Amino acid sequence: MAAEQFDKVADFLDLSDELRERCKWPKRLITVTVPVRRDDGSTELYFGHRVQHHLTRGPVKGGLRYHPAVDLGEVAALAMWMNWKCALMDLPYGGGKGGICCDPRNMSIAELERMTRRFTMEMIPFIGPETDVMAPDMGTNEQTMAWITDTYSTHAGHLEPAIVTGKPLTLQGSAGRTQATGHGVAFLASSALNKLDLPVRGSTAIVQGFGNVGSHAAQTMASYGMKVIGISDVNGAIWNPEGIDVKALKAYEIEHRTVVGFPGAEPVDPAKMLTEPCDVLAPCALDRVIHGDNAGQLQCKILAEGANGPTTPEADRIIDARGDIFVIPDILCNAGGVTVSYFEWVQNLQRFQWTEREVITKLETRLHASFEKVVGFAQRNNISQRTAAQAIAIKTAADAKAARGMFP
Ligand SMILES: NC(=O)C1=CN([C@@H]2O[C@H](COP(=O)(O)OP(=O)(O)OC[C@H]3O[C@@H](n4cnc5c(N)ncnc54)[C@H](O)[C@@H]3O)[C@@H](O)[C@H]2O)C=CC1
Ligand SMILES: O=C(O)CCC(=O)C(=O)O
């Protein structure tokens, strides 16, 4: 998907063959084996990957994912998208992504800690505040980042907070980082409603996924007065046409580790939920959930892509031909996370702390500017908003490569 999208945009930009090759292929692909002692005394081997797409514009930045579907190809695609996301948001970074093929839901906290520390040790030659700065993604969280900070800092002989972002506040994490991605999704969904002259208050939303991104997107949408009528997670989906009490759902989910069974809503088929009528559909979990078989049935006005890669190229073609859905493409829609990660890294390098209000204000200013840039570019060139976002980003990256010159 990432390569197909790239080729389309490279054609649009008329990139030279040399720049096309240099922009498309990742700089470094690293795979390590991670032996982990399980709690029962046995040892299991996991495969960990980190792909550093480009270092042309600065250190690479991007999350670390723990999921059974992780493989090198997936990580490479996610690293390429991170590259465009950072360029679109004008962050001084290239893109990177990492992952370990494992099922974190079937591992104890002690096993997760041992796996994270061993992976970090294997990565030490390749990461650093000026080369590669990881952050949370699916299946990882601020605790994972704390273990990475500790392992790296122990090796360095001093605390190195800028080695990762998305850390706990006690380890110089940034105010606002935990909610940043979901906040950005909701903020941009409300910007899109404004663009379409639809009222924000009382508009309806369906959110797939209730993890870091989905739960904060839903909570922020609810705080804007939007009605979140459907929410799903890996175990199932729930529905309430009057609007789900998202705060109460969060408390329920913390206790039960699922949204299923929440007393303030009815169960609904998770696949069918995606094609129900609503103003905003926000896929905030997996990739490729909007595909050739359901794109024609979508009844949303706005598709706010909180997840990375939720829409296949085939679905894109169907949505483009329909012309009645306002797409906020992933590299813009979920860029709130990496933007506040950048703020965290800057604060860490300066040994300085900003308030949550400062962080959120700076975040919204950047998101608003990029949103307007993408929507305007798409309109002027009569292209989709995904192609517009990627074109702006790929041109930025290609111009930086060209400015640095060709090979020595
Ligand atoms: N955490 C972050 O700051 C950022 C995350 N993203 C992307 O957002 C997406 C979600 O990431 P996080 O929220 O961090 O992960 P998470 O691990 O915190 O939550 C994932 C959620 O997806 C749900 N889920 C898994 N399989 C599902 C299925 N088949 N149907 C419905 N729900 C399902 C899980 O139950 C959980 O609620 C990923 O694509 C990630 O790459 C993008 C930008 C930043
Ligand atoms: O916060 C970051 O550095 C990266 C977040 C991420 O992995 C993403 O935007 O997909």
User: Are residue 321 and residue 242 in the same domain, yes or no?
Assistant: yes
288, 313, 328 - which closes a domain = 328
User: Are residue 40 and residue 167 in the same domain, yes or no?
Assistant: yes
Q: Tell me: is residue 85 an annotated ligand-binding position.
A: yes
* Nearest ligand 2 atom, CA 166: 1
User: Are residue 233 and residue 309 in the same domain, yes or no?
Assistant: yes
Mean pLDDT of the chain: 97
Q: How far is the CA of 75 from the centre of ligand 1 (A)?
A: 15
> Domain holding 218: CATH number?
3.40.50.720
User: Are residue 161 and residue 190 in the same domain, yes or no?
Assistant: no
Q: Is residue 96 part of a domain?
A: yes
What is the rounded average pLDDT of the residues 224-233?
A: 98
Q: How far is the CA of 374 from the centre of ligand 1 (A)?
A: 24
Q: Is residue 17 part of a domain?
A: no
146, 171, 196 - which closes a domain = 171
- Alpha-carbon distance of 331 to 236, in angstroms, equals 27
Catalytic residue among 8, 97, 227, 301: 97
> Domain holding 101: CATH number?
3.40.50.10860
pTM: 0.97
The yes-or-no verdict on residue 23 having pLDDT over 90 is yes
User: Are residue 190 and residue 308 in the same domain, yes or no?
Assistant: yes
User: Are residue 287 and residue 261 in the same domain, yes or no?
Assistant: yes
Within 12-126, strands assigned E span 28-37, 43-52, 60-67, 94-101
What is the rounded average pLDDT of the residues 169-180?
A: 98
Cβ of 165 closer than 6 Å to ligand 2, yes or no, is: yes
pLDDT above 90 covers a percentage of the chain that reads: 99
User: Are residue 241 and residue 313 in the same domain, yes or no?
Assistant: yes
Cβ of 79 closer than 6 Å to ligand 2, yes or no, is: no
H helix runs in 96-242, sequence order: 109-123, 142-156, 177-195, 212-223
- pLDDT band of residue 234 (cuts 50, 70, 90) is very high
The yes-or-no verdict on residue 80 having pLDDT over 70 is yes
User: Are residue 167 and residue 245 in the same domain, yes or no?
Assistant: no
What is the rounded average pLDDT of the residues 161-190?
A: 98
Cβ of 308 closer than 6 Å to ligand 2, yes or no, is: yes
24 is catalytic: no
**Domain encompassing residue 75:** 22-171
Ligand located closest to 283 CA: 1
User: Are residue 26 and residue 153 in the same domain, yes or no?
Assistant: yes
* Nearest ligand 1 atom, CA 338: 44
- Alpha-carbon distance of 230 to 269, in angstroms, equals 10
Asked if 356 and 371 count as a contact pair (C-beta separation under 8 A), the reply is no
Residues contacting ligand 1 via CB (< 6 Å): 63, 136-139, 181, 208-214, 232-234, 270, 284-286, 306-308, 334, 337
H helix runs in 226-297, sequence order: 246-256, 270-273
User: Are residue 144 and residue 277 in the same domain, yes or no?
Assistant: no
- pLDDT band of residue 407 (cuts 50, 70, 90) is low
Q: Tell me: is residue 61 an annotated ligand-binding position.
A: yes
Q: Tell me: is residue 308 an annotated ligand-binding position.
A: no
pLDDT at 408: 45
- pLDDT band of residue 405 (cuts 50, 70, 90) is confident
Locus of tokens 């550093």 = 52
| Residue among 50, 9, 54 nearest 397 (CA) | 54
Q: How far is the CA of 283 from the centre of ligand 1 (A)?
A: 9
What is the rounded average pLDDT of the residues 109-118?
A: 98
Q: What is the DSSP letter of 307?
A: S
Q: Is residue 382 part of a domain?
A: no
- The number of folded domains in the chain is 2
User: Are residue 114 and residue 244 in the same domain, yes or no?
Assistant: no
User: Are residue 148 and residue 243 in the same domain, yes or no?
Assistant: no
What is the rounded average pLDDT of the residues 385-407?
A: 93
* Nearest ligand 1 atom, CA 180: 3
* Nearest ligand 2 atom, CA 340: 1
CA atoms within 13 A on the CB side of 156: 18
Q: Is residue 137 part of a domain?
A: yes
| Residue among 288, 308, 311, 286 nearest 300 (CA) | 311
Q: Tell me: is residue 370 an annotated ligand-binding position.
A: no
Q: Tell me: is residue 178 an annotated ligand-binding position.
A: no
What is the rounded average pLDDT of the residues 385-395?
A: 98
Ligand located closest to 233 CA: 1
